[in-house]
């Protein structure tokens, strides 16, 4: 039988070559220079532009980009098409496409005053191109908020221990922010104290789990779980599809994301992401090391080999239970963030670029941070291989992803003598940590997008309470309400499978547009620079994602759900119609922007007009 250590070894080999070789070349290619002042220093305001130490910013960046997708995606893809295709796309695509995408997005942003990719493309193709990309990004953000809040709700429902532990580490993060930025406490002792508190929170969660409602039917929470409200919450919107407890957690998570996004970055975002990064590094690094130790010294509770239920290759159409799911293009959309993610370009050019202390930090944070997410994807695939698929491959991902990542991760951690029950709770907390940080970062980024769409008076941050549609749309307190409102409507329909696929397609197409933006910037910057590093991945991703979104719109939603009656309720039918329309809108926006970008490239490289400097406003 095949040992899972080969999954880890393949990824480590390609990632090492990529970081040691390709990222060094890219650093010279974009001319990183520590003598150049970064936007964090140039516009330091204590609110959005705040220089951060490299380990702090790496923790924030990694925590923000690594949501649930690199866990759910590889597990679902591995179960449907086999673990070999999933592994190849992660091991090869990540260093050549995903890490390039993140690094170039960050580098381009710091050369344009820490502004978003929408602003950057607007500098070269005009306001229409800027608005097209910003609207595309804003719609994608709503999908991100919806699916991440839903997954957190599902995890909280399955593991009440994680709920308590999550609340503990958010409170610790608030305390660490005050300690670090208001009391000017010493960095290293504070790190030791508060990180210890985060891990102690795991023990607190195991001892004092809590839930909002009882579980319906024969299911029940473990003995000792504190249930806040009586009944099963059947009256909660979405309870019929998700269960009352899960459906009740979704708006709680969304409101948390809205509040957190409105706070200055030093209050919660920076300290929480830094503290949680230790939890995440331990989960990813510890899981990988446990696979190596358990394989070499046979210390795990069961042999760490690929389970017989997981085939190397299931064929082009995948397992029969999944239905008609063609490997091309749906494998690439399903794996999503484990290889390349457009959401990362919003993080890189939204919050990270505003906190970068010096330009050379971009190599580790941008390129290296994405490799870290790829390593998480490899670990997720390993948990699937060890535990075997624990759910229905046609359930849209989370039905199998959650029990596999937690259960398989618990088995892997027994290599260190950790009881499987404790290890499973810890791995579930790792998943939630990724999701919580990504959710409120996404809401903050959505506000940035809208600020650039409707415009913001120079040097001000609108609260949204002063009146007027523009103020409400971009306001720090009001814009999050728009995002979570639409996101909540998508979630309560219960159409998880199609919602996840639509998110994956939109996210991957946004990555193509970010690579288009980078290509346009480089072409305008210097007509002697090659465009292959960004242009080829861009063309690949446009092709894959447009075909994937068409499949989802025309076959999954129009044919199966509406014509064939797969969507059994009025709400599900409306959701299918909305998702179908949204898919066509996203495709239209993307192709229009590609046309504008191509016109700019043809104009610049054809010699009909001169190139611009990299930071021209």
Taking the C-alpha atoms of residue 617 and residue 84, their distance in angstroms, rounded to an integer, is 46
Closest Cα to residue 91, out of 34, 153, 6, 149? 6
Domain-embedded: residue 259: yes
pLDDT (mean) for 437-458: 80
CB pairs under 8 A, 24+ apart, for 299-303?
299/414, 299/415, 299/416, 299/417, 300/411, 300/412, 300/414, 300/415, 301/411, 301/414, 301/420, 302/386, 302/411, 303/1
Domain-embedded: residue 615: no
Q: How confident is the model at residue 322 (pLDDT cuts 50, 70, 90)?
A: low
C-alpha 378: how far from chain center: 15
Taking the C-alpha atoms of residue 12 and residue 489, their distance in angstroms, rounded to an integer, is 41
Domain-embedded: residue 610: no
For residue 447, what pLDDT is reported? 87
Domain-embedded: residue 595: yes
pLDDT digit string, tens, across residues 213-268: 999 887 888 888 999 999 999 999 888 878 899 999 999 999 999 998 888 878 88
Contacts of 31 (CB under 8 A, 6+ apart): none
Domain-embedded: residue 30: yes
Q: How many residues does the chain have?
A: 617
Output the 3-class SS for 49-90.
CCCECHHHHHHHHHHHHCCCHHHHHHHHHHHHHCHHHHHHHH
Domain-embedded: residue 612: no
**pTM for the structure as a whole:** 0.86
From residue 340, give the alpha-carbon distance in Å to each of 35, 69, 514, 570.
31, 11, 11, 35
Domain-embedded: residue 611: no
Helix (H) or strand (E) holding 471: helix 469-474
For residue 498, what pLDDT is reported? 64
For residue 398, what pLDDT is reported? 53
Domain that holds residue 343: 4-44+53-604
Pull the structure tokens for residue 139. 């719609």
CB pairs under 8 A, 24+ apart, for 484-489?
484/145, 484/149, 484/251, 484/254, 484/255, 484/257, 484/258, 484/443, 486/142, 486/146, 487/142, 487/143, 487/145, 487/146, 487/149, 487/254, 488/146, 488/149, 488/250, 488/251, 488/254
For residue 400, what pLDDT is reported? 57
**Residue 358 clears pLDDT 70, i.e. is over it:** yes
Number of domains in the chain: 1
pLDDT (mean) for 499-517: 87
Domain-embedded: residue 614: no
Taking the C-alpha atoms of residue 563 and residue 455, their distance in angstroms, rounded to an integer, is 42
Half-sphere exposure in the Cβ direction for 500 (13 Å, CA) = 27
Taking the C-alpha atoms of residue 90 and residue 15, their distance in angstroms, rounded to an integer, is 10
Contacts of 284 (CB under 8 A, 6+ apart): 372, 375, 376, 379, 430
pLDDT (mean) for 458-484: 78
| Residue whose entry in the numeric block shows the structure tokens 């839930």 | 211
pLDDT digit string, tens, across residues 562-610: 888 877 667 677 777 878 888 899 899 899 999 999 999 998 887 655 5
């Amino acid at each position: 039988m095949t040992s899972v250590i080969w999954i880890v070894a393949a990824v480590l080999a390609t990632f090492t070559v990529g970081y040691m070789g390709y990222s060094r070349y890219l650093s010279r290619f974009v001319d990183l220079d520590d003598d150049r002042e970064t936007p964090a220093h140039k516009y330091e305001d204590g609110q959005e532009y705040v220089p951060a130490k490299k380990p702090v910013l790496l923790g924030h960046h990694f925590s923000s980009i690594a949501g649930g997708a690199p866990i759910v995606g590889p597990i679902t893809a591995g179960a449907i098409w086999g673990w070999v295709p999933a592994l190849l796309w992660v091991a090869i695509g990540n260093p050549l496409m995903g890490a390039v995408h993140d690094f170039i997005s960050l580098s381009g942003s710091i050369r344009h005053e820490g502004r978003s990719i929408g602003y950057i493309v607007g500098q070269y193709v005009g306001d229409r191109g800027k608005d097209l990309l910003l609207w595309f990004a804003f719609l994608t953000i709503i999908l991100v908020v919806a699916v991440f809040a839903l997954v957190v709700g599902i995890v909280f429902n399955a593991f009440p221990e994680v709920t308590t532990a999550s609340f503990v580490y958010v409170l610790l993060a608030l305390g660490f922010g005050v300690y670090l930025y208001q009391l000017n406490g010493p960095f290293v002792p504070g790190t030791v104290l508060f990180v210890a508190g985060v891990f102690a929170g795991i023990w607190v969660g195991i001892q004092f789990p809590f839930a909002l409602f009882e579980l319906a039917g024969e299911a029940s929470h473990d003995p000792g779980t504190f249930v806040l409200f009586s009944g099963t919450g059947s009256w909660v919107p979405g309870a019929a599809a998700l269960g009352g407890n899960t459906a009740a957690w979704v708006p709680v998570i969304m409101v948390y994301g809205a509040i957190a996004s409105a706070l200055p970055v030093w209050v919660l975002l920076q300290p929480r992401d830094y503290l949680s990064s230790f939890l995440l590094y331990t989960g990813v690094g510890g899981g990988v090391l446990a696979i190596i130790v358990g394989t070499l010294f046979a210390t795990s509770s069961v042999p760490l080999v690929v389970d017989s239920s997981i085939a190397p290759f299931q064929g082009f159409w995948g397992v029969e239970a999944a239905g008609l799911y063609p490997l091309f293009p749906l494998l690439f959309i399903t794996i999503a963030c484990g290889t390349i993610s457009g959401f990362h370009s919003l993080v890189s050019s939204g919050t990270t670029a505003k906190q970068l202390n010096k330009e050379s930090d971009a190599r580790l944070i941008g390129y290296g941070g994405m490799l870290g997410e790829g390593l998480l994807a490899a670990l997720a695939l390993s948990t699937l291989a060890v535990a075997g698929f624990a759910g229905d491959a046609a359930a849209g991902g989370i039905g199998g992803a959650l029990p596999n990542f937690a259960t398989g991760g618990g088995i892997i951690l027994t290599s260190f003598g950790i009881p499987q029950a404790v290890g499973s709770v810890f791995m579930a907390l790792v998943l939630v940590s990724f999701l919580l940080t990504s959710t409120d970062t996404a809401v903050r980024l959505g506000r940035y997008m809208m600020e650039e769409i409707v415009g913001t008076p120079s040097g001000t941050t609108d609260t949204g309470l002063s009146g007027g549609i523009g103020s409400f749309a971009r306001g720090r307190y009001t814009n999050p309400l728009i995002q979570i409102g639409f996101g909540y409507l998508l979630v309560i329909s219960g159409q998880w499978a199609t919602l996840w696929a639509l998110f994956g397609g939109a996210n991957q197409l946004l990555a193509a547009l970010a690579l288009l933006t980078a290509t346009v910037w480089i072409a305008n910057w210097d007509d002697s620079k090659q465009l292959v590093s960004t242009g080829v991945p861009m063309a690949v991703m446009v092709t894959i994602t447009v075909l994937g979104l068409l499949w989802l719109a025309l076959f999954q939603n129009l044919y199966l759900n509406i014509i064939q009656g797969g969507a059994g309720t009025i709400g599900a039918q409306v959701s299918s119609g909305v998702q179908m329309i949204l898919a066509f809108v996203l495709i239209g926006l993307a192709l229009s922007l590609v046309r504008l970008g191509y016109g700019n490239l043809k104009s610049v490289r054809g010699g009909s007009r001169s190139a611009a400097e990299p930071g021209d406003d």
